[in-house]
Amino acid sequence: MGYVRPTSLTDALTCLAGNDMRVAAGCTDLFPATGHQHLAGNILDITALSALRGITNDSDHLRIGATTTWSDIVQADLPQGFHQLQQAAREVGSIQIQNAATIGGNLCNASPAADGVPPLLALDALVELSSLTGTRTLPLAQFITGPRETGLASGELLTALLIPQQSTRGRSVFLKLGARRYLVISIAMIAARLVETDGQISDAAIAVGSCSAVATRLKAVENELIGQVPSPDLVHRISDGSIRQHLAPITDTRADAPYRNIAAAELVRRALGQLLADHQQEAA
């Protein structure tokens, strides 16, 4: 097959069915993985599928096409629940990377340090997987199964992310910790979204990246928050244990595992502190 760049989804899926194709979009992970000056083998370039790029709304979901770039997300007019995703988008590599790299590629590459995953987890994102035989959706948490491992079946293409309208509510924040300012792979990162209804926290979504094989939601912390009256003091009531029970950090060149546990807890408190302080300012 070589390098193909179809313009219709059907052509793309036909090509994918029965062929061993590497799907290419922004190529910001594919090119660094080769020492060569070209992408070798069978490549299915999906960037000419115009239907796959962009953000649309329907009554159930906000839909982000798989080849929507991080710059597209930065520039989009999105509800406050997406603030975390837009902040994360600005932290993906550099502007050069953000102009090319796609949200679908970030998920399919399935790096434990993927900047897009924690905020999308905190948005309850679903992935839309298309093949010649049809389309299925899968919660993101089930799609990424391990470092560099996904639930993508043979012949399937990740075509979109779906955010339930319900989950676009609330205020959100993303924090990334690295050893330098730009172009950095995170030591730890946090995405958090809080929804307040009638003076109480009605929904909380907190996700941590780079501190476990797959980025993960902190259900125990979320449960501690739901039903509480929002106040900055709340952050002090969250125990380290309720954060750490979800984490399994490793030691690598960027940081050791004990540090990641400490840093993740600190970042969780800072992220929630920001959201709760914002709340207080808004209330005042």
Partner 1 sequence: MTPPEAINLTINGEALSLPPRPGRRLSHALREDAGLRGTKVGCDAGDCGACTVLMDGDPVCACLTPLIQASNRSVTTVEGLSSETLSPLQEAFLRHGAAQCGICTPGMLMAAAALLDTVAQPSRTQVEDALGGVLCRCTGYQKIVDAVLSVGTPSEKPATPDAGRAVGARIERLDGTRKVDGSEVFGADFWPQDAWLVRAIRSPHHQATFTFGDIDTWVGTHPGVESVLTAADIPGTNRFGVIPPLADQPGLAESRVHFRGEAIAVIAGAADAVEALDLSDFPVNWSPATEVLTTEQALDAALIHPSRPGNILINGRVATGDPDTALAGSAHVVEASIETGFVEHAYIEPEAGAAWMDGDMLVIQACTQAPVMDRDDIAVMMNLDADKVRIMPAAAGGGFGSKLDLSLQPLIALVALKTGKPCRMVYSRGESMASTTKRHPGAMTARIGSDADGRITGMTFHGDFNTGPYASWGPTVATRVPVHASGPYRTPHYRATTRAIHTNGPVAGAFRGFGVPQAAILQETLYDELANAGGMDRLEFRKRNALHDGERTVCGQTLHGVGIAECLEALEPRWHAAAAEIRAFNKGSAVRKRGMGVASCWYGCGNTALPNPSTVRLGFCADGRLKLHQGATDIGQGSNTVITQICADALGLPIDAFELIGPDTALTPDCGKTSASRQTYVTGKAAERAGQALRAQILRLSNKGNDAKLRLDGHNVLVDDGQTTQSISLAALPVDEFGYALSVEETYDPPTTPLDEDGQGVPYAVYGYGAQLAEVEVDLALGTVRVVAVTAAHDLGRVINPLLAEGQIEGGIAQGLGLALMEEFIPGASENLHDYLIPTIGDMPAIRSILIEKPDPEGPMGAKGLGEHVLIPTAPAILNAIHHACGARITKVPALPHRVLAAIRQAGESA
Interacting residues toward partner 1 by CB under 8 A: 2-6, 11, 15, 24, 26-28, 31-32, 35-40, 43, 45, 47, 71, 93-97, 99-100, 177, 179-185, 187, 253-256, 258-259, 262-263, 266-267
Which C-beta is closer to partner 1: that of 31 or that of 54? 31
Q: Which two tokens stand for residue 276?
A: 């709760």
* Closest to 139 in 3D by CA, of 116, 165, 118, 121: 121
Distance in Å, CB of 262 to partner 1, minimum: 7
Which C-beta is closer to partner 1: that of 48 or that of 226? 48
* Closest to 75 in 3D by CA, of 55, 94, 61: 55
Exposure b/e, 68-97, CB count within 10 A at least 16 = b: bbbbbbbebebeebbbbbbbbbebbbeeeb
* Closest to 16 in 3D by CA, of 101, 108, 149: 108
Which C-beta is closer to partner 1: that of 165 or that of 212? 212
Distance in Å, CB of 236 to partner 1, minimum: 13
In this structure, the dihedral spanned by the alpha carbons of residues 232, 238, 244 and 247, taken in order and rounded to 10 degrees, is -50
Distance in Å, CB of 93 to partner 1, minimum: 6
Q: Which two tokens stand for residue 274?
A: 């920001």
Distance in Å, CB of 181 to partner 1, minimum: 3
Which C-beta is closer to partner 1: that of 31 or that of 165? 31
Distance in Å, CB of 248 to partner 1, minimum: 17
Which C-beta is closer to partner 1: that of 199 or that of 241? 241
